[in-house]
Amino acid sequence: MIKDQFSKIGFVLAMAGSAVGLGNAWKFPTMVGNNGGSAFIVLYLALTFGIAFVAFLAELSIGKLGETDPVHSLYKLAPKYKKQWSMAGFFMIGAVLIASFYMVVIGWIVKYIYLSFGSLPTDTAQSRAMFESLLFNEAINSIICFSIVFSIVFFVVSKGIKSGIERLNVWMMPSLFILLIIMFCYSLSVGDGLLKAVSFLFVPDFSKITPEIVLQALGLAFFSLSMGVCVIPTYAASLPDGTNLVKSTLSIIFINIIVGIMMGLVVFTFVFAYNGDTTQGGPGLIFVSLTTLFAKLGLAGNFLAVAFFVSLLFAGVTSAVSMIEPFAYYLINKFNFTRKKALILIASFVYVLGIFCILSYCKPTSEVFMLFDKPFFDVLDYLTSNIIMPLAAIVFSIFVGFVLKKDGLGYLFVPFMGKALFEIWYFALRFIVPVAVFAIMLYQILK
Ligand code: PFF
């Protein structure tokens, strides 16, 4: 059987599709805006290139050298303690857990696309009430929207790497870009909003950079590049030979940053042009503030709202498909399952967890779905972002830095980065990445 493989450009788009997601729409802009503007961007870039880029290449090498699912790749590559090392492949379960609550949020986006065709709430109180009602009272609506997203995502993954994941990304990623450009051009016309947004996002304020912000920026870099949950090794296993790994990684990082910055400019242009609240973060900024601002623009606002939420839908779906593929690939290899059978198993699990997430916010059932005094939704988010992802990044960098043979890595990377840079990368991988990530993890747990 011919192995289902990406084309070179398909790989970059699929990996960028995984990286560019809901995180770019609300985490990145709000963190930049509230933590020192371009000072935060400089810090984020330094951490992305100094640490995340280094660890990203390590994850790529596991997939490319192993050429199979994460568990079997680690088994194949480890010279000793094969079974123990292969266990690290099960960090991919983190991706399945993220998929469960992430698709619930994409479901809310679907609801907002629908709402954008009608009349949008004109004041913040009304808008907040509408969002809170969706979260806390409308379990059935949330379940319907989640089910729509769920069906799209599993349908795409059922088609495999080339005809499913690559095909989706090859049209969704450019469409996302076009939508962003349209919105950006429109934002040029709304008074001096863009100017204020630029100064909010780019005027550096280094006094805001505290150790806590450094750690937050590193956490953001990891989440935003889909690291630690085996998406990267899984996609890399389907990478054609001869692909320039360094250039591809840089393109992925570049696309991820550009989309984050464009999202930030668009969102804050509207916020400033219509005196919205800049301190609102996360979902509040997108679902509450922005909707009321769009409402002020009449029909153009409806058009922009649809464009905006559709672009978020695209960003979210391309990330969600990447979360399912690692475990599906493993089940197919390990138990000889057909793709359909593997996906039915994963889908049942994700569907149940997704419903639990919805019910953990909804009023009548929220009490039942609490764990450690937190809604189940928040528990999954915390467990994956603050524990599984960083722990996996540490284990993978130690594996590649200390267990894999340096020669094999040199063979993979030296042609694309030269000997000197390779030595710097290797040093950073062994001694900087594990320490830095351990620091974030400790901080997240203890704070
Ligand atoms: N990178 C995605 C975002 O920024 O929204 C989130 C993500 C995708 C996390 C895929 C993990 C993952 F496996």
In the DSSP assignment, the letter for residue 371 is E
User: For 338, phi and psi rounded to 5 degrees?
Assistant: -75, 160
Write the DSSP assignment of 254-283 as a string of letters. HHHHHHHHHHHHHHHHHHHHTT--TT--HH
Of 20, 109, 224, 226, best ligand 1 pocket probe by most atoms within 8 Å of the beta carbon = 226
- Distance between Cα 420 and ligand 1 center (Å): 32
Is residue 98 in contact with ligand 1, taking CB distance under 6 Å?
Answer: yes
Is the predicted pLDDT of residue 81 greater than 70, yes or no?
yes
The dihedral formed by the CA atoms of 156, 160, 164 and 169, expressed in degrees to the nearest 10: 100
Cα torsion angle, 234, 45, 22, 392, sign: positive
The full set of domains in the chain, from first to last, is: 8-446 (1.20.1740)
| 141-182: pLDDT as tens digits | 999 999 999 999 999 999 988 888 898 888 888 998 898 898
State the pLDDT confidence band at 94, using cuts at 50, 70 and 90. Answer: very high
Is residue 18 in contact with ligand 1, taking CB distance under 6 Å?
Answer: yes
State the pLDDT confidence band at 1, using cuts at 50, 70 and 90. Answer: very low
Looking at residue 371, what is its pLDDT?
85
- Per the prediction, the chain carries an average pLDDT of 89
Is residue 35 in contact with ligand 1, taking CB distance under 6 Å?
Answer: no
- Distance between Cα 64 and ligand 1 center (Å): 20
Looking at residue 293, what is its pLDDT?
78
| 117-128: pLDDT as tens digits | 998 888 878 888
Looking at residue 327, what is its pLDDT?
97
Is residue 229 in contact with ligand 1, taking CB distance under 6 Å?
Answer: yes
Query: Residue of the nearest CA to atom 7 in ligand 1?
Result: 226
| 410-423: pLDDT as tens digits | 999 999 999 999 99
Is residue 224 in contact with ligand 1, taking CB distance under 6 Å?
Answer: yes
Tokens of 159: 């088609």
Whether pTM > 0.85 for this model: the answer is: yes
Of 48, 102, 227, best ligand 1 pocket probe by most atoms within 8 Å of the beta carbon = 102
E strand spans, 251-396: 370-371, 374-375
Tokens of 197: 């947004």
Is the predicted pLDDT of residue 280 greater than 70, yes or no?
no
Between CA 225 and CA 162 the distance in angstroms is: 21
CA atoms in the 13 A half-sphere facing the CB of 97: 21
Looking at residue 2, what is its pLDDT?
45
Give the end-to-end CA distance of the chain in Å, rounded to a whole number: 51
Is residue 219 in contact with ligand 1, taking CB distance under 6 Å?
Answer: no
- Distance between Cα 80 and ligand 1 center (Å): 32
Write the DSSP assignment of 70-105 as a string of letters. HHHHHHHH-SS-HHHHHGGGGGHHHHHHHHHHHHHH
Closest CA to 360 of 342, 346, 340, 381: 381
Taking CA atoms, 348 is separated from 147, 152, 158, in Å, by: 12, 15, 14
Give me the mean pLDDT over the 212-222 stretch: 84
Give the least confident one: 247-261, 264-278, 342-356. 264-278
Give me the mean pLDDT over the 330-351 stretch: 96
Query: Residue of the nearest CA to atom 10 in ligand 1?
Result: 226
Q: Which atom of ligand 1 is nearest to the CA of 323?
A: 13
Is residue 323 in contact with ligand 1, taking CB distance under 6 Å?
Answer: yes
Q: Which atom of ligand 1 is nearest to the CA of 231?
A: 13
Q: Please, are residues 28 and 220 in contact by the beta-carbon 8 Å criterion?
A: yes
Query: Residue of the nearest CA to atom 9 in ligand 1?
Result: 226
